[in-house]
Amino acid sequence: MMNYVSTRDTGIKVTASQAITKGISAEGGLFVPENLPKVSMDTVSELAKLDYIGRAKSILSLFLTDFTEAEVDSCVKGAYETGFSDAKVAPLAKIEDGVHILELFKGPTCAFKDMALQILPRLLTVSSGKAAKGTKIVILVATSGDTGKAALEGFKDVENTQILVFYPSDGVSPMQKLQMCTQEGNNVSVCAIEGNFDDAQSGVKRIFTDKAIGEKLAANSMAFSSANSINWGRLCPQIVYYFSAYCDLLASGEIKAGDEINVVVPTGNFGNILAAYYAKEMGLPVKKLICASNSNSVLTEFLTTGVYDRNREFFTTISPSMDILISSNLERLLYSVSGSENVKQWMKQLSEDGKYEVDGATLDEIKAVFAAGCCDDTETKETIAKVFKGKGYLCDTHTAVAVKVYYDYKEKTGDSTPAVIASTASPFKFSAAVLEAVAGGTEGLDEFEMVERLAEVTGKACPEQLANLRDKAVRFDGCCSKNEMDGVVFNMLGI
């Protein structure tokens, strides 16, 4: 049986079901496996013969040890058998020899968050049945854009749950905002907050760990859980697609069993690249994890200097899902490298001073695995144009950040190891910036005129679920300050 411990107190041990149901540990720590399972190359070679569902069942079973085989099977099939526009679920697109794009946006909301948020509600339903029977699960989400819609879609009308999403009022794209504010479902609610994503995330974490609020919910037979990647049930499914990408390279003859690959990930909250780190630690032959940031380059600085400092200018960029200065999942990496006592100390410093610095040994261990880089909006647009015109591939604004950082890394190091670049969203979710990059001005065009123009200019089709938003009615238009979030939660729950 695999147990999970808190990054801030290893004396706290819970099952997979308890970790998924709780979402976050009571003292603010994040749940992590007590020991990571190992996967041999023989097993990887066998996984290469399976489809995505088979690979997911194999990997997830290693972590969900208090689930029955039938429960894992039901969760995985329910998540991935329908709702994805590609039979491979997470296909690879080759843009040149040795460079592949891992397309993680084929799900119902056209973003990589679907890879985890189509299965999380199923995992949570099974988990709460074991760990919190008779309790309504209240999902609180802070989003920088894509998580919100994916979570709303995943939890829509799921029995015995309610979900409330907070998003920064000026920190998401028009398409992302439309996706959330037109969301259907009887158990969903959405509210903007004045401020940025970090304000939303800090507010949600504060509500989670407020004992008085928890007691009020308990008195009404309710309990909080999370759909953000602080929840292990959100992060764990993301490990699968890195194994799957390697399997696809193996099956297509692009690499041989045991060959190393580099993995490049655009990330703000550090969850997507942390999943790749866990895959590497489990035995996947990854040489380097390359972390790509936009102008909010707090992770680039940390991974190169060991100093994490959120006391800096916050930039609103054309890659808004990465506009984050407090990267929650970094705590899990620090735990893996340095242990809970150091994590407790550093997180206290971050809370009090907004910064911390890790010791030399910790930094050396991190730098042995990670490389990092960043680029600004101008470079992002230049990359979108260059990749489309030179390789015929249309990137969204986040994927373009990763592409730019990868080629910078390759030029600097000469490392020609085969690379997998995680692509996180459909370019049509960010049509203004992408259209401007490939065709110039967008003046005078509304959101859907830009979508149509982008399709016309590029010859690429806009996903139906985005095109169909044009005629959907807005259901949620509320906005609150970060100090009013508690009241919004209580109002939604009617308590």
Residues involved in catalysis? 113
Give the containing element (helix H, strand E) for 6: strand 4-6
Single out the residue of 186, 180, 190, 191 nearest to residue 472, CA to CA.
180
For residue 486, count CB atoms less than 10 angstroms from its CB and return exposed for 0-12, middle for 13-18, buried for 19 or more.
middle
For residue 453, count CB atoms less than 10 angstroms from its CB and return exposed for 0-12, middle for 13-18, buried for 19 or more.
middle
Single out the residue of 215, 204, 237 nearest to residue 121, CA to CA.
237
Query: What are the angstrom distances between the C-alpha of 62 and each of 69, 123, 223, 290, 300?
Result: 11, 14, 27, 26, 32
Kindly state the tokens that stand for 398.
Answer: 């986040």
Q: Are 223 and 135 in contact (CB under 8 A)?
A: yes
Q: Are 321 and 424 in contact (CB under 8 A)?
A: yes
Q: What is the identity of the amino acid at 156?
A: K
Contacts of 141 (CB under 8 A, 6+ apart): 147, 148, 151, 163, 164, 165, 166, 204, 226, 227, 228
Kindly state the tokens that stand for 223.
Answer: 């309990």
Q: What is the DSSP string of 176-213?
A: HHHHHHT---TTEEEEEESS-HHHHHHHHHHHHT-HHH
Q: Are 358 and 338 in contact (CB under 8 A)?
A: yes
Report d(CA 223, CA 23) in Å as an integer: 10
Strand ranges (E), 261-402: 261-266, 286-293, 307-309, 355-357, 370-374
| CA dihedral sign, ordered 485, 487, 493, 495 | positive
296 in the Ramachandran plot: left (φ > 0), alpha (ψ -120 to 50) or beta?
A: beta
Give, in degrees to the nearest 5, the angle at Cα 158 between 156 and 163.
55
Single out the residue of 374, 399, 471, 436 nearest to residue 146, CA to CA.
399
Do strands 479-480 and 188-193 pair parallel, antiparallel, or not at all (unpaired)? parallel
